[in-house]
Amino acid sequence: MALVAGVEQVRTVPQASLDPLSRLLKSDLEGVNRLILERMQSPVALIPRLASHIVAGGGKRLRPMLTLGCARMCGYRGDRHIALAAAVEFIHTATLLHDDVVDASDLRRGRDTANAVWGNKPAVLVGDFLFSRSFELMVADGSLRVLEILSRASAIIAEGEVMQLMTTGNTATTEADYLAVIQSKTAELFAAASRIGAVLAERLPKEEEALDRFGRNLGTAFQLVDDMLDFSARQSELGKSVGDDFRDGKVTLPVLLAFSRGDEDERGFWRRTLEELDQQPGDLERAIHLVECRGALAETLARARTYAAAATRALAPFADGPERRALIAAAAFAGDRRF
């Protein structure tokens, strides 16, 4: 397994929590939330109603917190980071609306998805509206460098989603293919959100690169744990239906590991349920048993923690302080969360 930029594994596990970062950024986050509520308004009544359903749905705001926290760690003391953090959250929210349509999901963060309530067409179109709002905020900021980073991230995220469609239902998917998907569809926005903190503070290119590595490793850890939780969490904790990935035929790392370590009967089970989507009562329970008994969940979690440790290592060029410590705690959370 290759870590982003070859960062070596570290064994120590720091505090795993978003609380230090959210406390430190309380005032900034309030500004971001106010701006989000302001910019999702529209005279077309369905737009703010549908947008508020997902925006107010209890998300962690982790991506905008990375923008805010990295900017402050880098010494930025202006207020441009507020609007750019809101732009990052609009990009993320738009992708969630589109993803739920593609996946035919009916539950997110413990609530009905927007497409389950209003239908697929309104959900897709409001997602487009939020993408447009994010670009308005970027243009108003006036930095071509920021626009370059976030617009490129938006394109790569879309590529990642298409890549995932190509691997769905394909048990011949390699771990390299899987990692390429999550690098694009998840880690890219984490990397961009972190990197623009250094751009705002006009830090050196090598520090931009360090924050890119930080966000990219953190995002990879976050997605690995998300894929693990689909086979292990309780629905009340996860905020979505356990087994959604399995029902959709998604080939994630727990499946890849269980498939490679299983016997021919087990491989036949995975081919039937994921490639043919011939799923019968009891199949999800068997899938959960197989990923557990083949050590796939423990291995996925171990790899997530390795990426989280790599994210921490990436912050080495920055001086110690409350922001850096809070970002380290956030990285640990990404690799050790249960929801």
Q: How far apart are CA 270 and CA 311, in angstroms?
A: 33
At 135-152, the pLDDT tens digits run 999 999 999 999 999 999
State pTM to two decimals.
0.92
Q: Does the CA dihedral 135-137-140-141 come out positive or negative?
A: negative
For residue 235, what pLDDT is reported?
Answer: 54
* β partners of residue 179: none
Report pLDDT digits (tens) over 292-335: 999 999 999 999 999 999 999 999 999 999 999 999 999 999 99
Across 43-57, 79-93, 227-241, the highest mean pLDDT is recorded for 79-93
Instruction: Report how far residue 95's alpha carbon sits from residue 257's, in angstroms, rounded to the nearest whole number.
Output: 28
Q: 200 with 233: CB under 8 angstroms? A: no
Task: Inform me whether the pLDDT recorded for 78 exceeds 70.
Answer: yes
The model's pLDDT over 277-288, given as tens digits with 9 standing for 90+, comes to: 999 999 999 999
Report pLDDT for 14: 59
Element (H, E) at 107: strand 107-108
